[in-house]
Amino acid sequence: MAERTSGTAVCPGSYDPVTLGHIDIITRASQVFDRVVVGVVNQPVRKQKTVFTAEQRVAFITAEVAPLGNVEVQAFDNLLVEFARENGAKAIVKGLRAISDFEYEFEMNQLNRKMAPDIESMYLMAAPQYSFLSSSGVKELAMFGGDLTGLVPAPVASQLKEALER
């Protein structure tokens, strides 16, 4: 395991819903940084309306990361670099699954670097068992009654099926 570095990192995302892949990235970031702030985007720009409210998404993640001790979860609705600065973060940590993730993150990294050259962007490769996992894929699977075991936390799975039935 890597030795923790002093400082704070932000792990941003819409987390609609949070997946076990997200939890893996957050957990791994918590082993590197003294403090990790999971930033739940209140209203994602590039996605349609969320299934869960920001408060629900914060609650799901908070329950999953409670054992870690150095992770907190907050909703935000301003620029990511502003949110990072408000939390004293020196790094933004995100997960990468595939080339398509890289292309989007590369573009966002360049914009963030222009606005906040003092905040570093860092990327963790998805663990092999989560390399295919996405929130949109989970929602589609849930919509058609698929088994979500091993993809999302159990409380998320049951509430997602409920929400999509409505």
Length of the chain: 166
Query: Is the separation of the CB atoms in 10 and 35 below 8 Å?
Result: no
pLDDT tens digit sequence for 12-40:
999 999 999 999 999 999 999 999 999 99
**Domain definitions of the chain by residue range:** 7-165
- Does position 132 have pLDDT exceeding 70, yes or no? yes
pTM equals: 0.92
CATH code, residues 7-165: 3.40.50.620
Q: What is the CA radius of gyration of the chain?
A: 15
